[in-house]
Structure 1
């Protein structure tokens, strides 16, 4: 297997909470990312899913060095980039670009499309000499499916889907190897989402890109991803190949997420199981001891409050030749099968989830 192009090990990002005006005193911290390990391999798409506030966007900003981790390291081709600065950091950023979530706020309304897409060349002039920049920008517009003659237009003259294409073109300007896409289709209409996702797949083949694709929509993540990581309250709780995660989820949180996916077939919808989690997500300033999902989990036992479950192959699969060999951070991980041919993402026998006592 090829070496990872990006490795994150023991990644933490805590934002301090302070009190006082003259003398500031730290009284706690928001634990946005709290011990994440992940690998991204050349040419693959790693999907990251989880509910709002679980730390997905913070993780994205860490991977592109827009934020410095509290501790831990991020390696790009074996080099720790968390300690780089100045020109050394700029050289790495050229190869790791980002597509932002909101195409309406991520583009400067006072700049033309040509200036927006061409701005990376001001920071990295070696990529495109001044005399060739206009042509390169027009080529990028054509690559993402926009008319090159739109180069002098402003963002407000484009639809949401077109603006996201402009954001993608800006991310491609420096010919990066990795693109971190932070919910790139969540602000778009459903029909436009499909167009943007298909464009990203086409560009991945054309430019040999590796993606970290963050999204709420589980069906989109399954469509585009090779592997999937499920985040909950700052940590990845289950990870594996897309088919294994979707067809054989083992972590209770993953099972609950997948049970919420809409099923278009009315007959299948009537017979599917729906796992309803009670209670709210704990505050990231006061994370529960042991397993952070235990306050909402119907499997929680005393052990869950005392021991932090490690992300590893569940014991049930180490003893069998079952199909699912992915990692799960649960003391009582148990496979949940999809009924073949029914299109369900849940399964029989679970019942309604109850909070831990």
Structure 2
């Protein structure tokens, strides 16, 4: 199987919408709506703490892993918010909280102004239909015992009103064609596809329920570079066709910059900087963001000597015992006494976008003409 190397020609918008069975992303649903100025999705001081226990029979809680600790974010309709950070900073936990795979320890997730934690079973079922996820691993996220046609159509067994049983095969084939797969492959199994093709199957599965928000949990990190570009371009095409909103989680900063309207940088469970892609990449203000950007390789040989190289000292602290005050202070070259006693607020200190640093200062790390 090698059709990853070629992208299908884009179908017109009418056919693309028919692939999902109805138009999406236009107007409010019967369960609530948003105005043009109101965010579609809001996270307010979101926290998720996992207990640390001792003992076999009588378990005793001796501490907590603060995976997510006070995250505040907003996502507008038709917008892409990029979320970046080191492994273990809590990005994937945020994704699981958003799709209700985990329950928050504190804080709120507001969808169209409604608190997800207070939704009843019926409303929560509707919320899970409208907020879908694309998983990181295209190998582990698909059931090897099911055909790809059954995988894509599985959600319709729960939300039967979306696709009548009589027309599901045709609807499944239309979805597969929309994501660049041969519609005749509906009876094949996941092991018969390459990694990029499996991820396209995961995208088709997410589209099947006509969502408004898709959480992309590092959807291209396990793929080859050439296939990454194809999948990112596919996601952008689908966003234009269906008016989707993305929370795009990734390690690759260049990919995040390419697809995102705004970028949020996480460190040890908290957001340390947020702004437009030009703000965060062109004039990063938090020392951690500057260090992240300095690690990005430059592909243009004539620009490689123009990048500031920032090497951080020490290891990332444990989320079970984070440092007092600013969590980045143990690795920061700007740290002073106030950093150990007072957690910095995520506010704009004159750089044009918010950064959680007492001594935030805009600094050009990567040449501005690098994309």
TM bucket by the smaller chain? over 0.9
List aligned pairs for 1:1-357, cutoff 5 A.
2-314=37-349, 317=350, 324-337=351-364, 343=370
Shift of 1:84: 2.5
Aligned equivalents of 2:148, 2:120: Cα separation in 1: 29
Aligned equivalents of 1:60, 1:90: Cα separation in 2: 17
Q: Counterpart in 2 of 1:348? A: none
Q: Would you say the 8 A contact 1:249–1:335 is kept in 2?
A: yes
Aligned equivalents of 1:259, 1:284: Cα separation in 2: 24
Q: Would you say the 8 A contact 2:329–2:335 is kept in 1?
A: yes
Q: Would you say the 8 A contact 1:290–1:306 is kept in 2?
A: yes
Aligned equivalents of 2:69, 2:53: Cα separation in 1: 19
Aligned equivalents of 2:151, 2:265: Cα separation in 1: 33
- The two structures, once aligned, show a CA RMSD in angstroms of 1.3
Shift of 1:103: 0.2
Q: Would you say the 8 A contact 2:41–2:112 is kept in 1?
A: yes
Identify which range, 183-192 or 85-94, moves more after superposition.
Answer: 85-94
Q: Would you say the 8 A contact 2:130–2:212 is kept in 1?
A: yes
Q: Would you say the 8 A contact 2:284–2:362 is kept in 1?
A: yes
**SS of equivalent residue, structure 2 residue 118:** coil
CA deviations over 1:244-300 (Å, ceiling 9, x no partner): 100000000000000000012334223422100010000000000000000000000
CA deviations over 1:163-204 (Å, ceiling 9, x no partner): 000000000001100000000000000000000000000000
Aligned equivalents of 1:125, 1:94: Cα separation in 2: 11
Q: Would you say the 8 A contact 2:307–2:365 is kept in 1?
A: no
Shift of 1:132: 1.2
Q: Counterpart in 1 of 2:11? A: none
Unaligned runs of 5+ in 2: 1-35
Q: Would you say the 8 A contact 2:293–2:365 is kept in 1?
A: no
Q: Would you say the 8 A contact 2:307–2:367 is kept in 1?
A: no
Aligned equivalents of 1:340, 1:57: Cα separation in 2: 30
Shift of 1:339: 7.0
CA deviations over 1:72-104 (Å, ceiling 9, x no partner): 110000000123242221111110000000000
Q: Would you say the 8 A contact 1:141–1:166 is kept in 2?
A: yes
Structure 2 vs 1, CA of residues 141 and 339 (structure 1 numbering), >3 Å: closer, same or farther? closer
**SS of equivalent residue, structure 2 residue 297:** coil
**SS of equivalent residue, structure 1 residue 17:** strand
Aligned equivalents of 1:254, 1:216: Cα separation in 2: 13
Aligned equivalents of 2:369, 2:212: Cα separation in 1: 39
Q: Would you say the 8 A contact 1:2–1:42 is kept in 2?
A: no
CA deviations over 1:215-271 (Å, ceiling 9, x no partner): 000000000000000000000000000111000000000000000000123342234
Aligned equivalents of 2:307, 2:276: Cα separation in 1: 24
Moved over 4 A (4+): 338-342
Aligned equivalents of 2:283, 2:295: Cα separation in 1: 15
**SS of equivalent residue, structure 2 residue 117:** coil
